[in-house]
Amino acid sequence: MDTNYYQSSNFKVFNHKFELPLNYSNENSVTITVFVREIINLDKEKKNQPYLIFFQGGPGYESPRPISISGWIKRACEEYKVLLIDQRGTGLSTPVCSRSFEGLSDQEIADYLTYFRADNIVRDAEEIRKMIIGDDRWSVLGQSFGGFCAMHYLSFYQDSLDKVYITGGIPPLDAHPDDIYQRTYKRVLEKNNLFYNIFPQAINHVNRIADYLIDNEVYLPNGDLLSIRRFQQLGLNLGFSDGMPMLNFLFEEAFNGKKISYLFLKNILSIQTFDTNPIFTVLHEACYAQNFATNWSANRILDDFKEFSSYNNKKLFFTGEMLYPWMLDDYQELRVFKNAANIIAKKTDWPKLYDEKTLINNKVPIAAAVYTNDMYVDRDYSISLANIIPNINVWETNEYEHNALRSDGKKVLDLLFERIK
């Protein structure tokens, strides 16, 4: 373990680097670096606080950077020493990017990426726990996909856990992505209609942009073509509390005279992170896979929802958190992953992610926030799994969207901490 630290205001921040196996089943495995940032409240330093490790949403996204220690992180530091782990392949943890695989075949790239699901992320956490606190238990906070990681932790390493907190991330126990996306597309359509109801002026703005993209080849500052289908992917933001107003303001500033403005194009490039975080694109559907292939589920199920491919009624509908094979062509930074992603989409021998027998005998206290109108994680699947798990306290609310931990983190943690004191 390699460690250094600095002090920020009333907090001490340690940067840890761990060398861990890529493949835990192979004693001769190559190693990867896993980075963890530890934050300690100096006012609590002498109280020997327990540890809380945070799993970020995604998959494929690094932990938040504590530019200012506020919100949920500040609140968590009142109770815990907080560990922000950059999940393997993200941030400072041997990041996966288009330049990571020079000289490797498509099959070798695919094989490498199969080790970046929740199971190995949790194995990394377990190894780190042993190095930091030995046999002692720690607590987990999982946001979105981080909740999927927390549920895997509960399934296979329950004796390592003291308490578990989940925000917008109780996964389906064994649902196929086909069924998941049937539900998700419906919720995305609802969010589209809500967006246009709140911001009716956006209809004309969006129509003007769409017409322009149909009649002209428009390129983003990095050289990628801004097609209609890529423009539609801005709908990924419709499920965040600030997403709808953000998109409305973005569309307002789309034109400079009669041409698309550079500001608009630059903003789109900064909003869309599929190419900077390629694990999300390549493994998103695989994070549901258990002994079955996904076969680009969202792309196939899209055929059942003609609203997204029809622009004849002069209302463009945006897609959401769906990944499509065409992205491996349209995003130039993703092209190196194209054939590997297709291999992964056909893979059938994915191991189980959750163990029902263990979960129905759970003894770890769990507090979970379920957002009734969550666009990304299906409420009914979440409640269905929660109903079979003992010692779980579910707080369901329609007051917040999926990003509540980011938008109102102190209040969210206050409510969760109260449920398992």
Instruction: Catalogue the E-assigned strands of 289-351.
Output: none
Instruction: Give Cα separations from 124 to 55, 111, 254 (angstroms).
Output: 12, 18, 44
Name the CA radius of gyration of the chain, rounded. 22
**Bridge partner list, 138:** 161
State yes or no: is 402 an active-site residue: yes
What are phi and psi for residue 112, nearest 5 degrees?
Answer: -60, -45
Which structure tokens are listed for 181? 């996306």
d(CA 202, CA 206): 6
Contacts (Cβ under 8 Å, ≥6 apart) of 2: 16, 17
State yes or no: is 284 an active-site residue: no
Cβ neighbour number for residue 299 with a 10 Å cutoff: 18
State yes or no: is 144 an active-site residue: yes
Choosing from 135, 159, 215, 349, the catalytic residue is 349
Residue in the structure block whose two tokens are 């789309």: 254
Contacts (Cβ under 8 Å, ≥6 apart) of 380: 183
Helix (H) or strand (E) holding 12: strand 11-21
Instruction: Give Cα separations from 300 to 176, 181, 224, 325, 393 (angstroms).
Output: 13, 10, 25, 10, 36
Cβ neighbour number for residue 157 with a 10 Å cutoff: 15
d(CA 2, CA 210): 51
Asked if 124 and 118 touch (Cβ cutoff 8 Å), the reply is no
d(CA 63, CA 86): 5
**Bridge partner list, 15:** 4, 37
Choosing from 93, 139, 144, 382, the catalytic residue is 144
Q: Is 182 exposed, middle or buried (0-12, 13-18, 19+ CB in 10 A)?
A: middle
Which structure tokens are listed for 262? 């550079």
Active site positions, annotated: 144, 349, 402
